[in-house]
Copies of this chain bind each other. A is one copy, B any other.
């Protein structure tokens, strides 16, 4: 079994709780109060900024130039397409850019981002990449699991948001991250990766909990 598959299997309980979290269920059913969604979007926008910062550190830790360029590409995609897409989406929802900027991360968000940043800064690149995997991957799993509900969702913002994570572009990034993990983590002590992966998965769950 590939490292990434084994990690997912070991975190399956937490991932099930994420995929079936009431915030997710209500969002996909279209019954989530929009106020909660707005708060989530503002939190996630600020998380994204931390994530770009984190991929920059990860790029600098790559041993091979090819790996460095691959990770830098993800950082760059986040800093352009994803970041600007977020700004657009926030605009469409009628939230001012100023408000988005002034929003502070919740303690859960701060905790998650700083876990990523310190793992990337102080530990190996194998552990750093493993830490970012649950975020990207669970979003794809969520979107895929609930895909039938998207078209019948009456809230256009929810439809738009949910569609993003089914695009081929997004799927490719997730696959690239998995491949990267599988490539560079071969032979790396599995228990250390597992601890990181479980912790990140818990932060994902905590993040959903915090915006509900």
Q: Complex formed: what's the CA distance from A80 to B72 in Å?
A: 10
Question: Is A72 a contact partner of B68 (Cβ separation < 8 A)?
Answer: no
Interface stretch of the complex, out of A21-29, A108-116, A161-169:
A108-116
Question: Is B57 a contact partner of A56 (Cβ separation < 8 A)?
Answer: yes
A65 to chain B, nearest CB (A): 5
Q: Provide the residues of chain B in CB contact with A54, threshold 8 Å.
A: 60
- Nearest chain-B residue to A61 (Cβ)? B122
Given A107-B206, A111-B114, A115-B110, residue A53 in contact with residue B49 (CB < 8 A): no
- Nearest chain-B residue to A76 (Cβ)? B76
Q: Complex formed: what's the CA distance from A80 to B68 in Å?
A: 11
Q: Provide the residues of chain B in CB contact with A124, threshold 8 Å.
A: 124
Question: Is A79 a contact partner of B72 (Cβ separation < 8 A)?
Answer: yes
Does A138 make an interface contact (CB < 8 A)? Answer: no
Q: Provide the residues of chain B in CB contact with A72, threshold 8 Å.
A: 52, 56, 72, 75-76, 79
For chain A, give the interface size range: 35 or more
Q: Provide the residues of chain B in CB contact with A203, threshold 8 Å.
A: 107
Known: A53-B60, A75-B75. 14 other contacts (CB 8 A): A52-B72, A53-B62, A54-B60, A56-B75, A59-B75, A60-B60, A69-B83, A72-B72, A76-B76, A107-B111, A110-B111, A111-B114, A117-B118, A118-B118
**Interchain residue pairs with CB less than 8 A apart (8):** A52-B69, A53-B122, A69-B79, A69-B83, A107-B111, A107-B199, A111-B115, A118-B121
A contact residues vs B (CB 8 Å cutoff): 49, 52-54, 56-57, 59-62, 65, 68-69, 72-73, 75-76, 79-80, 83, 107, 110-111, 114-115, 117-119, 121-122, 124, 199, 202-203, 206
